Structure 1
Amino acid sequence: MKEAIFETLKKLNFTEYEAKAYLALLEESPLTGYAVAKNSGVPRSKIYEVLDGLAIRGDILVSPGNTPQYTPVPAKELIKNRRREAEENLELAEKSLAEFERSANDRENIWNITERNKILDKVKECIGLATKRILLEIWKDEYEELEPELRQASKRGVNVTIVAYGEISSDFAQVYLHYMGDGITEEYGGRWLVISADDSEVVAGIVSLGKDSRAAWTRHVGLVMPITEVIIHDLYLMEIMEKHRELLEESFGENLVNLRHKFSIYPDYKKHYLK
């Protein structure tokens, strides 16, 4: 009979010694640690370690005093507690696995976001979840709306680095003023926003078309990596222009206009993504 109960208790995460000590207390209690060892067959050198483990888990109760005595939690209460713990663990496992599955799917999908406000809401969500670094290419219009979230991220210890089109100043972020600024708005016919959060997710799109604004959000590494690296290469260019602007403009024209013309496919040298 006892052997069968030992096996059952083991399935409830009791060790062999814990099962023996608990059954000894069910048969007779309260008992001192010495008496539990004697009645259960658990070595005296191990009994207090075993009893402490049972007490911490809530399977037995301890009366304080110079010579502590031990009493078991009734069998029905023990089973009730184990059932509750099992249900809680299953619920947690269900939620965790569902979240992991969703996250895994997200890493393979590219989601389309329409309307400027919805795009900015998604960017705010990315900012709120960032823990290490935010890389951002942005115009002043959108920066002013995102500034509170970016400031909070900085307070959490997130490094915030911005490539700014137009005058943006910040007391918490590293800001690189783009060497063309407003000229790019004219050349491209609109404003874009690109954010890379923790090198693991990106939002990129046009945000100057109101309800017709379009952006993509993804954790797909095939896009996260090149988009993040494009921002980083823009930062390289800002550093290089800061130190060697005169030499570069001597070779490639003001604001490197000759390079932009060289790689344009339209005779007016403007971009026509929004046509």
Structure 2
Amino acid sequence: MKENILGTLKNLNFTEYEAKAYLALLEESPLTGYAAAKNSGVPRSKIYEVLDSLAMRGDILVSPGNTPQYTPVPAKELIKNRRKKAEENFEQAEHLFENFERSSNDRENIWNITGRSEILEKVKACICSAKKRILLEIWKEDFSELEFELRNAANRGVIVTIIAYGEIVSDCANVYLHDMSREITEEYEGRWLVFSGDDSEVVAGIVSLGKDSRAAWTMHIGLVMPITEVMIHDLYLLEIMEKHRDILEESFGENLIHLRHKFSIHPDFKKHYVK
């Protein structure tokens, strides 16, 4: 029986001497270091080093005094502590490996996502992992499905900025209303969504086609950087329009429609991305 217990303690990362000392204290305690060495068979030259190691790990308790005495943490408590520590280690390992895999595997890949609900679920996951900043370009029809996650992100201290197509009201985000949301919806014949998190990952695609909606998710810097910067430049433009609308519209038409027409390649001025 004792050999089986010693083997079990070794499986719990006890050294042979630590296992013998702990088991001796379970059989009789409190003990002085001298008595623990005598009862356990651990050499006297090693016993205090072994007991100090057990005490530092929290496996035994020490009573202070001229002659310290040692008592074991009960076996059930020991096992409970070991199980808790193991679970913490597994959780930490899971988190570290997940981050490692994402950084090593995903930075060079572009992943396709099919289906509106699947796209929104991916964006929700990205929102939950954001730590510093979220940029989101979205229509009011889709915003409510992400509002809960966005609020939680803001509560974590993440800066949330939204370029809104349609009237979006949020007390957890900086909202910039795009004036031409109706015209753009007609021009593109659909709604898109663009997400950038922490300048490190993006989700971008069409979300108005139900199960046929298409988007891409990537951490590839060759896409993350330009997509994020295009969103920032949209914010620049919206800020400029807020301050100097009259001057700009005098040159380029209402809501800068002449610029939109200038850079269209189709006679009807629609984009025809969705066939």
* CA apart distance, 1:72: 9.0
- SS of 1:172's equivalent in the other structure is coil
Matched pairs, number: 249
Residue of structure 1 in register with 2:201 after alignment: 201
Q: Say if 1:166 and 1:92 are closer, same or farther in 2 by CA, change over 3 A.
A: closer
Match of residue 135 from structure 2: 135
Partners of 2:95 and 2:173 lie apart in 1 by 34
In terms of mean alpha carbon deviation, does 143-152 or 223-232 score higher?
143-152
Is 1:242 the counterpart of 2:245? The answer is no
1:191 CA drift (Å)? 0.5
Q: Could you give the per-residue CA deviations for residues 118-177 of structure 1, whole angstroms, max 9, x where no partner exists?
A: 111111111122121111001100012211221121112111100001111111211001
Contact 2:34–2:44, Cα closer than 8 Å, also in 1: no
Give distance in 2, aligned partners of 1:98 and 1:131: 18
Match for residue 172 of structure 1? 172
Contact 2:163–2:235 (CA under 8 A) maintained in structure 1: yes
Residues 224 and 267 from structure 1, CA distance in 2 versus in 1: closer, same or farther, beyond 3 angstroms? same
Q: CA deviation at 1:89?
A: 9.9
CA distance in 2, matches of 1:62, 1:224: 56
Partner of 2:184: 184
What are the within-5 Å matches in structure 2 for residues 93-108 of structure 1?
95=94, 98-103=97-102, 104-108=104-108
Q: Counterpart of 2:9?
A: none
User: For residue 232 of structure 1, what is the amino acid of its counterpart?
Assistant: I
Given the superposition, is the C-alpha separation of residues 246 and 156 from structure 1 closer, same or farther in structure 2, using an over 3 Å criterion?
same
2:172 maps to amino acid: F
Q: Which residue of 1 aligns with 2:154?
A: 154
* TM-align CA RMSD: 4.0
Give the secondary structure class of the aligned counterpart of 2:145.
helix
Contact residue 179 and residue 241 of structure 1 kept, 8 A: no
**Structure 1 residues 230 and 35 mapped into 2: Cα distance closer, same or farther (>3 Å)?**
same
Q: What residue in structure 1 maps to residue 233 of structure 2?
A: 233
Q: Distance in 1 between matches of 2:152 and 2:123?
A: 14
* Equivalent position of 1:220 in the other structure: 220
Which sections of structure 1, spanning at least 5 residues, go unmatched?
1-11, 74-79
Cα distance in 2, alignment partners of residues 92 and 174 from structure 1: 34
Distance 1:150 1:33, change over 3 A: same
Pick closer, same or farther for the CA change 1:84–1:129 going to 2, 3 Å.
closer
Letter in 2 for 1:151: R
Aligned to 1:251: 251
Deviation, 1:69, is 2.3
1:274 aligns with 2:262: no
C-alpha separation between the residues in 2 aligned to 1:185 and 1:96? Answer: 40
Distance in 1, Cα, partners of 2:91 & 2:184: 50
Q: Secondary structure at the match of 2:137?
A: strand
CA distance in 2, matches of 1:95, 1:147: 28
Q: CA offsets, 1:102-126, max 9 Å, x none?
A: 2121222111111111111111111
Q: 1:243 to 1:203 in 2, by over 3 A?
A: same
Identity of aligned residues (%): 70
Structure 1: distance between partners of 2:267 and 2:143: 33
Three-state SS of the structure 2 residue aligned to 1:267 is: coil
Name 1:5's counterpart in structure 2: none
Give 1:124's aligned residue: 124
Shift of 1:33: 7.4
Partner SS state of residue 257, structure 2 = helix
Alignment of 1:39-58 (within 5 A): 52=52, 54-58=54-58
Return the offset for 1:90: 9.0
Q: CA deviation at 1:62?
A: 2.3
Alpha-carbon separation, structure 1, partners of 2:117 and 2:234: 26
CA distance in 2, matches of 1:150, 1:98: 26
**1:228 positional shift:** 0.9
User: How many Å separate the matches in 1 of 2:144 and 2:96?
Assistant: 38
TM-score by length of 2: 0.73
